[in-house]
Amino acid sequence: MKEEIIIAGFGGQGVLSMGKILAYAGLMDNLEVTWMPAYGPEQRGGTANVTVILSDQPISSPVLNTYDTAVILNQQSLDKFESKVKPGGTLIYDPYSIHHAPTRTDINIYPVEAMEATFELSSSKAYNMVLLGSLLKVRGLLPVEAVMKGLKKTLPERHHHLLPINKQAILKGMELV
Amino acid sequence: MEDEVRLMKGNEAVAHAAIRYGVDGYFGYPITPQSEILETLEELMPWETTGMVVLQAESEVAAINMVYGGAATGKACMTSSSSPGVSLKQEGISYIAAGELPALIINCMRGGPGLGTIQPSQADYFQATKGGGHGDYHLIVLAPASVQEMADFVALGFDLAFKYRNPVMMLADGVVGQMMEKVVLPPQRPRRTDEEIARQCPWAVTGRTGMRKPNVMTTLELDPVAMEKNNLRLQDTYRRIAENEVRFEEHGTEDCDYLIVAFGSVARICQKAMEDARAEGLKVGILRPITLWPFPYDEVKRLSKKVKSILVVELNAGQMIEDVRLSLEDRVPVHHFGRMGGIVMDPSEVLGALKNIIEKRQS
């Protein structure tokens, strides 16, 4: 098993933390993991992306140019990464901030109304968790319980009261796709 | 608990490993992409547990001179920075090398020259391996390719630094510093006691106790004859290091037609390229120098005899390639003669050296 994932969007949307939770969940599930951010001077509003690799074998390069799966949160990222998904791969995106939908026919494309869902959940901060839920459902990478353990590891203790709403968001994402 | 597999950045792993090694002092100044080292140390507050000093100095120059001072007392001291900051430290590094002091310096390289970018680079290879500061000195240079090695090379770096009384540089880059992967941290060791330091470092300036001869720590020597002696002693140390401490790793070199030479994170990227090439039937192997100084010249030379060509891959315009090319020198031997410490050679010495070479060729 090896899954090469790119998660891309605006800084502040939870791109890096979504990758982090995924990486921690991989760790909990005894997989090899790498988490490589495209770090830069960007802050909230700029672009942000992270490459996460989960594998049952040792991982060589943490830097990639094609991906099994892309999770896309804004138009710039779609423009940049649609062509980088391997044929037969997966593209998950939120149509909320997309003006030009993806056009490839050789990959599996899943629009997920994640932003709409966060309005229902009344927690916009759980936005990335909705998309993570969709990713888990589509790719069947990891059990939700491993992800919850990963989330508990990444979230500082003072925020642990937010665990239930995050789980709700993940389940919502699984349901939406 | 000690063997727990953790997930963290290379920079964070350095901070944890430093505390667990029993480092006495960290002196630094923030700069991307290595600021997490200082940040993590401040978060972990080791001064309340092991008693390790963690200090954000007023500048890179101050930080390296704090390391110099601490190291002179036999303490295990370290600093970290990124390329422009490491340039600022060069004077202090030269002094530490001249003082024959153990210390660990971490350079998490970013793009240069100048203030450059904050993204990963390997453009400080020359600076790290060929001197950097003034004078005839060498650092032992370790190039980590994973978060695990970022952690492990803290201990290895200090062990080598104390063994040879020579500063060690961990030459990392923005990729290994910023990426997260699995790491197993070493067990917590106690910091050495003053008595242990005195036993391990009889040269240390710890305040004269009993009636022992005073230890003096200076890098100034007004007498060129004495300074050449100092240089010869340093050169002898470098020879011992080159004989005993060359480290490298190989993948697929048993049957390769083409050899890639790469270090640090780039070797990981090349390994992926190798996997892809082999899938297409191309027999590619990788040599990853782990010590950039001393460089694995002999191994490059050995491998060069069985491959069709060599590709050197680096995040720079071609720096390590010079050492690879040097390894391949077999038909035309290159020799050198020199003097050191301010002594100027006379013509007869030059003639003597020349004859020496001719004689050796004939025998």
Query: In this predicted complex, what is the ipTM?
Result: 0.91
The identity of residue B355, as a single letter, is: K
Residues B175 and B41 occupy one common structural domain = yes
User: According to the model, what pLDDT value does residue B1 have?
Assistant: 44
- The answer to whether residue B13 is domain-embedded is yes
Chain B nearest-CA distance from A116, in A, is 32
Residues B261 and B185 occupy one common structural domain = no
Radius of gyration of chain A (CA): 15
Q: State phi, psi for B226 to the nearest 5 degrees.
A: -65, -35
User: According to the model, what pLDDT value does residue B319 have?
Assistant: 93
d(CA A134, CA A171): 8
Residues B188 and B319 occupy one common structural domain = no
Chain B nearest-CA distance from A8, in A, is 16
Nearest Cβ partner for A33 among B7, B175, B269: B7
User: According to the model, what pLDDT value does residue B330 have?
Assistant: 62
Query: What's the angle, vertex CA B226, arms to CA B221 and CA B227, rounded to 5?
Result: 55
Q: E-assigned strands of chain B? A: 5-9, 25-28, 53-56, 77-81, 104-109, 140-142, 168-173, 180-184, 248-251, 258-261, 284-289, 291-293, 309-312
Contacts of A23 in chain B (CB under 8 A): 7, 180
Residues B142 and B285 occupy one common structural domain = no
- The answer to whether residue B12 is domain-embedded is yes
Q: E-assigned strands of B134-268? A: 140-142, 168-173, 180-184, 248-251, 258-261
User: Cβ of A57 under 8 Å from any chain B Cβ?
Assistant: no
Chain B nearest-CA distance from A147, in A, is 14
- The answer to whether residue B83 is domain-embedded is yes
Is the previous residue joined to A58 through a cis bond, with omega within 30 degrees of 0? no
| Domain's final residue, options B159, B176, B195 | B195
Residues from B contacting A (CB-CB < 8 Å) are 5, 7, 32-33, 118-119, 174-175, 178-182, 265, 268-269, 271-273, 275
Residues B149 and B12 occupy one common structural domain = yes
Residue B106: strand pairing partners: B80, B170
DSSP secondary structure code for residue B185 in this structure: P
Q: What is the mean pLDDT of each run of 10 residues along chain B (363 residues)?
A: 80 98 98 96 98 98 98 98 98 98 97 91 96 95 98 98 98 95 96 95 88 89 95 97 98 93 94 90 94 96 89 91 85 72 73 81 78
Domains of chain A and any CATH numbers:
2-176 (3.40.920.10)
d(CA B163, CA B195): 18
For residue B340, the SS3 value is coil
Residues B263 and B138 occupy one common structural domain = no
- Range of A57-66, A84-93, B108-117, B331-340 with top mean pLDDT: A84-93
Residue range A154-166: mean pLDDT, rounded: 90
Compute the 3-state secondary structure of chain A and give helix, strand, coil in percent, each to the nearest 5.
45, 25, 30
Q: Do B180 and A33 touch (CB under 8 A)?
A: yes
Q: How many CB atoms lie within 10 A of CB B225?
A: 10
User: According to the model, what pLDDT value does residue A124 have?
Assistant: 79
- The answer to whether residue B353 is domain-embedded is no
Residues B153 and B295 occupy one common structural domain = no
For residue B150, give the nearest of B17, B295, B287, B286 by alpha carbon.
B17
- The answer to whether residue B60 is domain-embedded is yes
Q: Do A37 and B265 touch (CB under 8 A)?
A: no
Q: State phi, psi for A64 to the nearest 5 degrees.
A: -135, 165
| Domain's final residue, options B195, B225, B256 | B195
Contacts of B175 in chain A (CB under 8 A): 36, 62-63
Domain with B253 in it: what CATH number?
3.40.50.920
Q: Do A62 and B265 touch (CB under 8 A)?
A: yes
Longest CA–CA span in chain B (Å) reads 72
User: According to the model, what pLDDT value does residue B344 have?
Assistant: 66
Q: Do B118 and A63 touch (CB under 8 A)?
A: no
Residue A12 pLDDT > 80: yes
Chain B nearest-CA distance from A22, in A, is 11
Residue A3 pLDDT > 70: yes
User: According to the model, what pLDDT value does residue B212 have?
Assistant: 83
Residues B182 and B269 occupy one common structural domain = no
Nearest Cβ partner for A33 among B118, B181, B269: B181
d(CA B30, CA A98): 38
Domain that holds residue B173: 5-195
For residue B142, give the nearest of B295, B15, B354 by alpha carbon.
B295
CB A38 within 8 Å of CB A149: no
- The answer to whether residue B122 is domain-embedded is yes
Q: Do B175 and A37 touch (CB under 8 A)?
A: no
For residue B264, give the nearest of B106, B56, B84, B69 by alpha carbon.
B106
d(CA B125, CA B129): 6
- The answer to whether residue B213 is domain-embedded is no
DSSP collapsed to 3 states, B302-318: HHHCCCCEEEECCCCCC
Number of domains in chain B: 2
d(CA B64, CA A93): 48
Is the previous residue joined to B294 through a cis bond, with omega within 30 degrees of 0? yes
Residue A49 pLDDT > 70: yes
Chain pair A-B, CB pairs under 8 angstroms: 56
Q: E-assigned strands of B10-70? A: 25-28, 53-56
d(CA A71, CA A135): 8
Contacts of A5 in chain B (CB under 8 A): none
If phi over 0 gives left and psi between -120 and 50 gives alpha, with beta otherwise, what is residue A148? alpha
Residues B148 and B263 occupy one common structural domain = no
Contacts of B145 in chain A (CB under 8 A): none
User: According to the model, what pLDDT value does residue B293 have?
Assistant: 98
d(CA B70, CA B76): 8
d(CA B167, CA B179): 26
Number of alpha carbons in the 13 Å side-chain half-sphere of residue A108: 10
Nearest Cβ partner for B178 among A33, A39, A59: A39
- The answer to whether residue B235 is domain-embedded is no
Give me A57's structure tokens. 């074998």
Domain with B79 in it: what CATH number?
3.40.50.970
